[in-house]
Chains A and B, each alone.
Chain A
């Protein structure tokens, strides 16, 4: 039997995961003087080699869709590396009828290498939704507690935007926004007619130099990763300063399997499988920070069973794995005849949208709780595989006529995507699958997922709004959705929006929550969780900015506790 290798060194903190939450914890803790062992399940990332910036589709034999065309389902070969819905040797399961989709990224920086860079603050009411409508639970913290950290994160990573004074979308510390594209001006005009708020988006992309990082060069390819680090990723913006302190030990290929607990009930380190040698190794540490992604951290806690913690670590509440939420997602497309007349021009801009619609119906009664925002994009984007698939299907035929139709209709559609708040429900959670382990011998997750009537009504409202916007602009709405079946109103499968959060939620009451307001486990004082697991609700704002603000705040708290000798 393989011998377990124990690291002779005692670290101050072992951080699991190097994405938004783990990268931020590693930075703040090392800069605060603590020694940190950072475990990452994937390999190192080399932006100059791994990112496909400026590459044309024809420079790859597979034109971006990968071996056998199979990379297309994982957003293609151009996506910054190692994100996938399925990972060989690392399965997960879903209960019948659930079909939860889990996008994981095993690489330094995790999903921040390719994420959409949409950086939205939660609003004050988002922390007290229960008080407002009686659904779910209030947060143990208020907007005022997190606001200084939003300021710090935005100042450090760089976010463009504008001050708009919209109550559902608090203003932040913003760099100037890029100029709108033609598609965005058209949609903005239509939104004005409909009294829908349409404002410059808030994205973690530099329009001016910040901390030596060059400003954006407007190639529109943020999802591929940026070799100039002009957008935010943990691998380029958080890990390097942590490394510069000399206090960081980054261990790649390290698949965490269990948080180790001492006889005193405190965490004393992490056991992991070294993927290169398939052997178990252990890191000894005075405190442990989990940031492996919401569900992965829940999995770790549930797999960390001991006589003291027979239901998993920090799980006396039974809340670990519960309250799983994704964003409500539904999308649609419109054809805009005025775009046929656009002269060819560079339409790339930053990666993603320059404008968006924050939740605008907060001042009225709707037939669903909470709200959603709308993202949109389209126009004369770089051609890629799949761009004309719908046209081929709709128009059929072949030859010069079909070729001419494609040429004429190129760049004339705009896609809309709603991102809404899901209310946590009892049928949606993850647990340990009793029958299956991954290739590292670690029991895997089993997901249960269900949308409720609340979310379906929200998706219906999204579809009606997309149509109204397209038609107000003189366009034609192309998307047809069913009112029932597998995807009513085009609602996406759970997990598809990749905003899964909530599986180790914070709360004032240790009986119903896993963490306190500082992301510190109620049951284990030297254990913190700084990824999306701590979120009590999942407002329609993409969670990454909030994850980083909470991670920074949790790290400050841990530094403080360390100084007091409490951990």
Chain B
């Protein structure tokens, strides 16, 4: 399908070759190489590893966060889940840098454990899968807050976590592959629309 596309290496080569006399470009080979190197370094730095040390959350909170992320975007037959996509690292990083996030996520996780303790005398990590589903089904929908006002803070927390988890999953490699996005590459010509389906 993508036979016009070339690799990033190809475009960098083109850039270098493309520096012809009269060109207003100031690209030189060394700069192109530095650019490519920078990309690879960043790729390494951003790749989720098993040894991640949370910057903000306590280890208990981080385990809870991981559990929640994978419940919000679980593995299915198309792709892996949010943990594999690096969602907990992403959320921890942003939270470590943003006081508002610290209140919403830090406070939200404590609220959730307290809520579980009220109901089952256990933390979210300790309750049974059925109990967990029951708790999460309560805070996953705004309409439940209309019937039970004690849930509204939990609902707001879960809504924010859901947004960030989706952000992280669908900006990861596995999430982007799941959507079958094709692009971010160099084409000699733009092919236009393959065939327009009827409404």
Binding site for B on A (CB under 8 A): 46-49, 54-65, 67-70, 178-182, 184-186, 211-214, 216-221, 227-229, 236-237, 240-241, 336-339, 341-350, 380-389, 391-393, 396-400, 402-404, 406-407, 410-411, 473-475
Contacts and interface: CB of A to CB of B under 8 A. Distances in A.
A59 B43 contact: yes
A403 to B, nearest CB: 5
Contacts of A61: 45-46, 89-90, 93
A62 B34 contact: no
B167 A389 contact: yes
Interface of B: 1-2, 5, 8, 11, 14-15, 18, 20-27, 31-32, 34-35, 38-39, 42-43, 45-46, 71-74, 76, 78, 86, 89-90, 93-94, 97-98, 101, 136, 140-142, 158-159, 162-163, 166-173, 175-176, 178-199
20 contacts: A48-B35, A58-B172, A68-B97, A179-B191, A212-B23, A217-B187, A219-B183, A219-B184, A219-B187, A237-B24, A338-B199, A348-B184, A348-B190, A383-B179, A396-B140, A403-B73, A403-B74, A403-B76, A406-B179, A410-B179
A48 B31 contact: yes
A229 B25 contact: yes
A397 B14 CA distance: 47
Nearest to B133: A399
B34 to A, nearest CB: 7
A253 to B, nearest CB: 20
A184 B190 CA distance: 14
Contacts, number: 243
A68 B94 contact: yes
A392 B182 CA distance: 23
Residue from the set B8, B34, B94, B183 with the largest chain A CB neighbour count within 10 Å: B183
A388 B166 CA distance: 7
Given A228-B15, A346-B183, A380-B181, A180 B192 contact: yes
Nearest to A46: B31
A57 B171 contact: yes
B181 A178 contact: no
Contacts of A345: 1, 182, 191, 193-194
A350 B26 CA distance: 22
A347 B134 CA distance: 42
Contact of A406 (B101, B170, B190, B199): B170
Contacts of A48: 27, 31-32, 34-35
Contacts of A399: 71-72, 74
A62 B93 contact: yes
A410 B183 CA distance: 15
